[in-house]
Structure 1
Amino acid sequence: MQLVRQNEKSGGKMHRSGVVVLAALLAAAVASGCAAETGGGGTGAPGAPAKPTAGRSGDASPQAGPARAPDTYAETVRKKQAARAVAAKKWGLAKVPLAAPEPPKVKPSITTRKGFEVRNDEGLPPVFTTVPTKERIVFLTMDDGAEKDPELLRMMTELDIPYSAFVSDYVINDDYGYFKKMQRRGVTISNHTLNHRYLPGLSRAEQKREICGQQEKILKHYGKRPTLFRPPYGNYNRDTLVVAKSCGITAVPLWSSEAFPDRMEWREWDQDLHPGDIVLTHFRGKEDWKGSMPDMVRRVMKTITDKGYAVAKLEDYV
């Protein structure tokens, strides 16, 4: 504005239209500076507050805030335990199952249990009944596959109790789909031979058919060859381990106790649970024992929980 007055006084030759244009430019610059100072960026009416920019307070369409951080393991466990308490009441458990600790980042080194060795077993899959750990956890495993109780699937899913399935083809081949549903719920399908025969009584070739043949069946129906194998009745010889290794088996978990709907049977001298113990049960129903599979789960979980243990997933440790 000072420039305009000086030109007018000096009688300069600036055309009136030029004066008007320059004044308009100066006014626009002043208005722009004021808008910047107030944080405005909109085109509101003269004298009115500037329209806020996107994302600022008062904007009609605020941007989303920062993404919520993932739950910590402790928070995840808390939420699972709350849901598990509801499920425990629904399924008639005496107590709410305890929560397992976070799985180890590095799996423990497992060796064959003393007294379970075979001749020249170096390099063969280890045979064991307990996983080396100091945590108060045990592992629940189910064998064969004769009983296909849909209540078991619902119960274990709602309780969020991990377990492992060691299946034999001769009893699951009438309903592969049942175990596919189980697999979708996070259960690992492992090898228990084609026909559940007494392996030490077979030739190496016959054992290969039983073990490696089941590897191929599981691959076909469940998409992956197992790495865990349990010999029927817990009986094996060196040929068993040699053959198992040849078709992808890396470990042979047996068991330290067995669960039934009406009792527990113990294989250890003190008849008790220990950190890392493997618990065996079977896919059986009322035709074979005194109760259903849910009855068995109620019994085994009462024993495990009363003794201060949680159930962890075997495959997280082996």
Structure 2
Amino acid sequence: MRRYGTLGGAAMLALVCSGAGLPPYLLPGAEEPASHLASTVDANPPGALGARTVLGLPRHRQAQAVADATAAYAKRLERAEARRVVAAKRWGLRRAPLRAPAPPAHKPKLATEPGHLSGPGLPPVIVRAPTEDKVVFLTIDDGADKDPKLLDMLRELDVPYSSFVTDYVARDDYGYFRRAHRNGSGVHNHTVTHPELPRLSYRQQRAEICRQQDNLEREIGERPVLFRPPYGAYDRDTLRAAASCGVTAVPLWAQEAFPDRIEWGRADRKFHPGDIILTHFRGPGEWDGTMTDMVRRVLDTATEQGFALARLEDYL
């Protein structure tokens, strides 16, 4: 997925002038590689060029290449942003969602949130990513209702999200989650049968988690490193089992989103930088609305509060 900041005039100029997305040898001030230099001068040795030698010609051609590439890049950004504005109107948003800033060059170190279990060798349990960027993260659990319009909406708006999938409700159509993954969604572990894990033995918990790791590796092509326990219920055995299956973090949530409301985890009823938002793959049979209604509420609320949706996997 493409991720840029909000593209006003000044921001666009800064982004283009930075050379983002260009080959290294086209960045301002970079040295040309020998192969590029060789293609921009005569093959004759310097002494044979005589009066035909034009000093600075390779650097002139490099500058032109930079100008051409940045102009093309700016045009692509303009077209992408125009498409998002049109998509926002089509999906009934008040305005186009804000673009998230570039993700951190290095993922921040995670620490377990106060009040949650921790210990040597156990994956950290968090409700927010450690960042001061005004970004939040949309995460969708289970997989029971597979609304194709949800994937279309998120793709057209270029909004990142992450799925935490339970096998027994996903197995009838893992193709839906493969499509989500191709669109840029992370697909992570939410157990095989969605039990309340602390009621199970360590061996049973490990089977629930590790078997779903195997399922997702087979169906999606990647072995997840993130795991969310059903109902947010876990104990020390849960964390031990998850670690033994290759899990490196256990993201819970700070808010829960529905089509008609957001249930806030704080009294100020506002997003905070790095907050994780929980919702579910549900439909009108269980909700007073649809998945796209829920996304509309989340995006309008986040935009109104000055937040963009970012990709959880870039921060954890």
Match of residue 242 from structure 1 = 240
Q: For 2:246 and 2:210, how far apart are their aligned partners in 1? A: 9
Change (3 A) 1:147 1:244: same
1:94 has 2:109 as partner: no
1:181 to 179, 182, 192: 179
Map 1:1-318 onto structure 2 (within 5 A): 66=65, 68-69=68-69, 78-118=78-118, 121-318=119-316
Give the whole-Å Cα distance in 2 for the aligned partners of 1:247 and 1:71: 47
Once residues 271 and 93 of structure 1 are traced to their aligned partners in structure 2, the CA distance between those partners, rounded to angstroms, is: 21
Cα offset for 1:266? Answer: 1.1
2:137 alignment partner, SS class: strand
Greater mean alpha carbon deviation, residues 251-260 or residues 261-270: 261-270
Contact 1:81 1:99 in 2 (8 A): no
Number of equivalent positions: 256
Q: CA deviation at 1:273?
A: 0.8
Identify the residue that residue 20 of structure 2 maps to in structure 1: none
CA–CA distance in 1 between the matches of 2:229 and 2:235? 10
More helix by share: 2
Amino acid at match of 2:160: P
Structure 1 stretches lacking a partner, 5+ long: 1-35, 40-64
The answer to whether the 8 Å contact 1:190/1:229 transfers is yes
Secondary structure of residue in 1 paired with 2:164: strand
Per-residue CA deviation, residues 182-231 of structure 1 (Å, 9 max, x unaligned), is 11111111000001100011000110111011000001111111000000
**Cα distance change on mapping 1:37 and 1:199 into 2, 3 Å:** closer
CA change 1:288–1:122 in 2 (3 A) is same
- Paired with 2:167 and 2:207, the residues of 1 have a C-alpha distance of 12
Cα distance change of structure 1 residues 241 and 94 upon mapping to structure 2, 3 Å threshold: same
Unaligned residue ranges in structure 2 (runs of 5+) = 1-48, 53-63
| Aligned AA (2:304) | D
Compared with structure 1, are the counterparts of its residues 104 and 167 closer, same or farther at alpha carbon in structure 2 (3 Å cutoff)?
same
Larger Rg: 1
Check 1:237–1:209 CA distance in 2 against 1; reply closer, same or farther (3 A cut).
same
Contact 2:191 2:209 in 1 (8 A): yes
Does structure 1 retain, via aligned residues, the 8 Å contact 2:257–2:279?
A: yes
- Identity among equivalent positions (%) equals 54
In the superposition, the TM-score normalised over structure 1's length comes to 0.76
Deviation at 1:78? Answer: 5.0
Question: Which letter maps to 2:107?
Answer: K
The CA RMSD measured in Å over matched residues stands at 2.2
Equivalent residue of 2:172, what SS?
coil
